[in-house]
Amino acid sequence: MRVVLQRVSEASVAIENKTVGSIQQGYLLLVGAEDTDGTEEIDYLVRKITRLRVFADEAGKMNLSIQDIGGAILSVSQFTLYADTKKGNRPSFVKAGNPEHANKIYEQFNDKLREEGLKVETGEFGADMQVNLVNDGPVTILFDTDNK
């Protein structure tokens, strides 16, 4: 699995000009899965993301987690995280998971985040979405379970 995490002061996702998910302070997660991903990858990412300390404490140091600040998550599926750009100018997406499997992994990932007590808003898997965000910092962190 690959996840791009962005610390945000606000974020939303719309489909056909209708907002389907929005949050205030927290994380925007762009989530991609491949066919070999399963429970082990989900558990690893949930553990890393929920414990990640990138919010400022009273001394202004990145020392607080999303749970410490009562933040929320906007999770958006994004198969293009598996783009292969080594050959030519048109990316290949053959490493991206089969849509049925990838959707299952995406849903399980979001459910596990909710089990940690987090509010999780989502886009719609496979839809053409417009994502708006205010990246706070900016703070952007990449996770790839093939490189844990």
**Residue-level pLDDT at 16:** 96
**Residue-level pLDDT at 94:** 87
Q: Go through the chain and tell me how many residues it has.
A: 148
Predicted TM-score (pTM) of the model is 0.95
pLDDT digits (tens, 9 = 90+) for 17-30: 999 999 999 999 99
Mean pLDDT of 103-128: 97
Q: Which residues are catalytic?
A: 78-80
Query: Which among 70, 71, 53 is positioned nearest to 62, based on CA atoms?
Result: 53
What percent of the chain is helix, strand and coil (3-state, nearest 5)? 30, 40, 30
pLDDT digits (tens, 9 = 90+) for 69-113: 999 999 999 999 999 999 999 999 989 989 999 999 999 999 999
Q: Going from the N-terminus, what domains does the chain have, and what CATH number goes with each? A: 2-147 (3.50.80.10)
